[in-house]
Every structure is written in structure tokens, then in C-alpha cells.
Amino acid sequence: MRREDYHTYNEIKSQTQAWEQALNLVSTASLPKTADYGQVLFTGCGSTYYLSLSAAALYQELTGRAAWAVPGGELLLNSQTVVAQTSCSPCLLVAVSRSGTTTETVKAVEKFKAEKRGQVVVISNYDEALSRLADFNIVIPKGQEESVAQTRSFASMYVAAATFCARMAGRTDLVEAMRTLPEVGNSVMDKYEAYAKEVGEDFEFERFYFLGSGIRYGLACESNLKMKEMTLTHSEPFHFLEFRHGPMSMVNANTVVVGMLSDANRVHEAKVLSEMARLGATVASLGESEADVAFESGIPESGRGVLYLPVLQLMAFYRSLAKGLNPDRPENLTAVVELDL
């Protein structure tokens, strides 16, 4: 089969259309008032939990208000450990789900609303059960997918979440700057697809480590998941400085260390990558400039997180093909997890 015969490839390559729709939808959507909430909680399952990790960090960075992320299953089964039981102000829950039918997330939102904890924002690609529970609803149809592993959907919902955070912070300037994301995203894919293919197809590499800190840690987790799902390759995510505390014992000449470089902490992050290269690893760096994958976007750091995704998604796609796997249908997985709860 040709690469164009796979849904995954077409979904990766067309994702910037979904980014644009997400930006437009959230830019004009009715949203809650930031000052009304003492707690802001982001939730999802699998990929959307990783999205929640990045979104919560970005919300806190931009608004200066506390926010955190929790898996939907934990919010459902152990809510007493993640939602303050008494508070002078309500909690805002941001629930993220590609399908809108993921059992843990739907049940967790139902419980949250039944206990009158606060209001709910839903970010999804389908107008399903979860959306009908929302007080504020964001549905991005162009992010819908045929593939099991999330690529276009994840990126579209991430852009929606980032735009949401910017608007909640009153950062209209950041929202406007983000409008060039689709154009830049297409350019990055065109320029670095061959690089993604070269690294992905190299069977000398046996393990991949994805490093990202701050708002990039959740993106590192998601990129790691794509490598696991599509290619059945050993991969793990870490915060940059944490990687030195034990995990680097696994580094050798058969290792790829992917570094999602930031602006503010680039000096420290680059030192980690240099150390791993001296241990024999192949380093693949991504960042705004002077990196193996350089965005050169001109977009403020808080607004360009989605640019880390496409090249790494393509890397996993090409590795899957090289291993004779079907990237559209990863082993043991389904597009939606529905449980009897």
C-alpha cells in the first residue's frame, strides 16, 4: 500500500485545517469567567489526559491561577483526592474527549454535575453524550478521524485548549498570533517529513525517549504514546532534568532522545541533550530555532505548542510502515474505550 492509502497519513497531513477550525470556534465561543473559579481541573483519558497535562500547565502559566490535570477514571473513582471537597468558590471542569463517549470521562462529568461541583467545558470532535453535559461546548468536526491512534484529533483539541487558555487569560494578542499556526504547520511538515521518515525507518534505534518540561511535558507523553501505539517500540516520556535521575542508564547507541526545547530553559535542556549524545544517543531536537526541527514561527512560546506534534507523528507513522504494521489499527486497541461502569 502507498502511504496515501492510510487514514493516519492523510489525517496527519490535513490536520492544520482542523487547527484553523479550532481557533475560529474558540475565538468566538461563549466562555466562563476566569474570576469565578478557585479550582480549574482538566480531564481526559489516554491521549486526552496527556493533553490535559499540557493544558493545565498552560492555563496556570497564562492566568496565574491554579490548575491541574487528572485522568477521567481517577476523577470518577477517587474524586476526593483530586477535587477539594469544600471550597469558597466552585470548580471549573474542562473535559476533553475525541469521541465524546469515553466511559470514564462521561461518568466522571455526570458525577461532577450531580454533586454540583461547578460548571463544565467540553472539548471534543463529535457532538455526543459528553457535549450534551456541557455548560460550554466546543466541538471541532474537522478533527474527526478514521484511525485508532489520535493525530489530527489530538492536535485540533490541543489548539482549542490553548486558545481557551489564552482567552481565559485575556490574551487576545496571543490568539491573534496563533492564527498563523496552520501556515507554519504546513511548512514544518513539508520541510521535515523526510527527516521524520529517516529516523523512523532506522532499525538501529531500539528505544525512544521524549523529553519535555512545563507545558511541553504532556506533549512529550503524547508523542511517546504515538510511538508505542503505532510501532510497538519501547518509548518513555520524561521531564528534561528528571531524565538524569536514573533513566539515562538506558541510553546507548541504539537510543533516540527527542528533546522539545523551550525558550526560557533552553540552556539547561540543551545540556541534557548534549550529555545524552556523549553517551551515544542520537538526539532529535525540536524548537523555535537552532534545532533539528526548527519551527521559525514567530509565534510566542505559549501559543505554538502544537508545532511539536506533526513531525513526531510522521516519525511514528513511517516506523510503523517499516515494521510491517498497520498504523491505522494498532495492536489490541479500539478508537473508543467504552466500559461497563
Residue pLDDT, tens place only, 252-289: 999 999 999 999 999 999 999 999 999 999 999 999 99
Identity of the residue numbered 267: V
Q: Under CATH, domain 3-178 is a member of which superfamily? A: Glucose-6-phosphate isomerase like protein; domain 1 (3.40.50.10490)
Q: Is the pLDDT of residue 335 over 60?
A: no
Domains of the chain: which residue ranges?
A: 3-178, 180-322
Gap between the Cα atoms of 294 and 307, Å rounded: 10
Which class would CATH give 180-322? alpha beta
pTM recorded for the entire structure: 0.95
pLDDT by residue (tens digit) across 199-251? 999 999 999 999 999 999 999 999 999 999 999 999 999 999 999 999 999 99
Instruction: Decide whether 3-178 matches 180-322 in CATH topology.
Output: yes
Q: Is the pLDDT of residue 339 over 60?
A: no
Element (H or E) spanning 190, and its range?
A: helix 181-200
pLDDT by residue (tens digit) across 103-144? 999 999 999 999 998 999 999 999 999 999 999 999 999 999
Mean pLDDT score, 5-14: 97
Identity of the residue numbered 89: S
Q: Is the pLDDT of residue 337 over 60?
A: no
DSSP H stretches of helix in 14-145 = 15-28, 47-63, 72-77, 103-114
Neighbours of 127 (CB within 10 A): 13
* pLDDT, position 113: 93
Contacts of 190 (CB under 8 A, 6+ apart): none
Strands of 39-44's sheet, edge to edge?
67-71, 39-44, 91-97, 120-124, 136-139
* pLDDT, position 88: 54
